[in-house]
Structure 1
Amino acid sequence: MLKLATTVLGIVVGLIVLVAAAVSGIIAAVFGGGDSATGSQPSQAALADIPGNYLALYRQAAGTCPGLDWSVIAAIGKIETNHGKSELPDVHNGSNTAGAGGPMQFLQSTFDSVVARHPIPPGGSNPPSRYNPHDAIFTAASYLCESGARDGRDTYGAIFVYNHADWYVSQVLNQAAQYKQAENKSGEDAPPSPQAQQAVNYAQGQLGLPYVWGGNGPDHGHQGFDCSGLTMAAYQAAGITLPRTAKSQYDAGPRVPNGAPLAPGDLLFYGSPGNVHHVALYIGAGKMINAPDFEVPVKVDNARWERDDYLGASRPGQGDPRR
């Protein structure tokens, strides 16, 4: 009987441990426990720019969505209202001309809809408010998660749902890269240099312009660009001079070693060393801005596709990327 009682007691204790572990897992999923262990670490730029309470909320909220890094939410907070520091009145009450308000600039209808599907953990307003940083940031994480960011399936698409503009997605991704401490993990983007960021910003401003063979853009009296004209003009805006053709830009380097993380602003080349037929500007998350071909405007495309002839990348103005 004593042996039987001991066995039963062991089973009960084991069940208690399992239940406790399950409950702990649920709490971690809902309240963001352990996010600092799985997400990236803040860079010095992030620590200097983001108020401490906002940084903590971004990291906690990211913990509710596997695969969503806090830096993406923080980048949206930066672009929308400078982490609530904007002087615009719609940050704290009211709304802008589009109806958006609060630190994460939610439409009231969108905020209410997301909260109804994904209740906000305690710590904010009661009822939840889009003007409360806690409520707005957790709701932004839920919105991104359900829009494609879960498990990293489509972070680009999730940001596009947040604001339907390719230039906006590019800005968010580049800002996120600056907020993340460089770790050089396989598959992650490296942060851009200030010059590379300027080049990307310039290219974003040319989206929609026509493809023009030999075109160097409106600054040179042309209606649009060809592929190397766009990349040359983008880096010219950042104070870096590039050769004119895709082949000469490839030869100029410096090359990014195969397998090394790409950074926004890297030039991507296609073809062979003797016949480089296309160049584009990488903007992060596997996307690029390019002037593709006749009758196709400057646009955002996937950097890689099935049976492409990707040759490699260079990082203008940065010396040897391996150092």
Structure 2
Amino acid sequence: MGSKLGAAVAAVVLALPLLVGAGVAGIGSALFGGSGTSSLNCTPDGTTTGTVPGMTAEQMINAATIVAVGKQMGVPEPGWVVAIAAALQESKLRNLHYGDRDSLGLFQQRPSMGWGSPQQITTPTYAATKFFEHLTATPNWQTMSVNDAAQTVQGSGFPHAYAQHEDKARAVVAAVSGVRCQPTMAGTGDCNNIQAPNPAAMTAINYACGQRGLPYVWGGNGPLNGDAGFDCSGLTKAAYDAAGISLPRTAHTQYNAGPRVPDGSLLPGDLVFYGPPSKIRHVGLYLGNGKMLNAPTFGQPVQIDNYRYPGDDYAGATRPAEHHR
């Protein structure tokens, strides 16, 4: 990034914990299961200065955190500007442990108003997640001015105060948005210590782990549907049914339902497929650490296996939990 400050911003963003999923789900746990190895994997992408005149390292690091969270949540760039403008007004982009009444953190969110616990609100990734949740739930927010969009989230007693920060917010976003971030989570590959990037994936994995030992049954949909066990796609469909996500019934139709996962980007809860794309023959549920849960074939029960093996015909992966975000 061309400066010590820029390097500091990049280093902190590289180390950001992925607390986003918990915020989106509205549940208390910051990470879904275990101690976790989830992070935002961020790399430089284009020219970025990492500095803005008059801004401190602390402010720029907090700005980088906000933008990284917005990227991970799929919020478009105008939303980052709104969030930065709001934080400039509320805290001057500082993670304050004090404020008006019980207001705290970057956005001066209030525990008494349901924004979270004091510890959560003063965790920048959590605070940013909650801001973006409320922003993106606002109808037509992208057609609003920066000021009005920020005000819909914040409900400030000074409803026109955010406009004064718009230009600086754009400069800040330009300085830190040259960091490309993707969620990563290695996962454990172990049903006794499940990790997942979001509640839907966690529910699907937890369900499938509970079916270990049941027999392979061709066309089987599991005991809840009157069958002694599962076939491969019956298991994955039942797992995501438990998470409130409806999948097609066969491995081939599940593969075509998508959305596809780029090579090298697997997360726990992804579905992994085998066979030529014209005729997918098998599917498993990725656990992390190179492992999958699957109903392999006749005579073999639902079990954990390596998802890659010599001579396999691995076709790729999909991410059903993406539909639940």
TM-score, normalised relative to structure 1: 0.44
Q: Which has the higher contact order (CA 8 A, sep 6+)?
A: 2
Larger % of helix: which?
Answer: 1
**TM-score of the superposed pair, with normalisation by structure 2:** 0.44
* Structure of higher CA gyration radius: 1
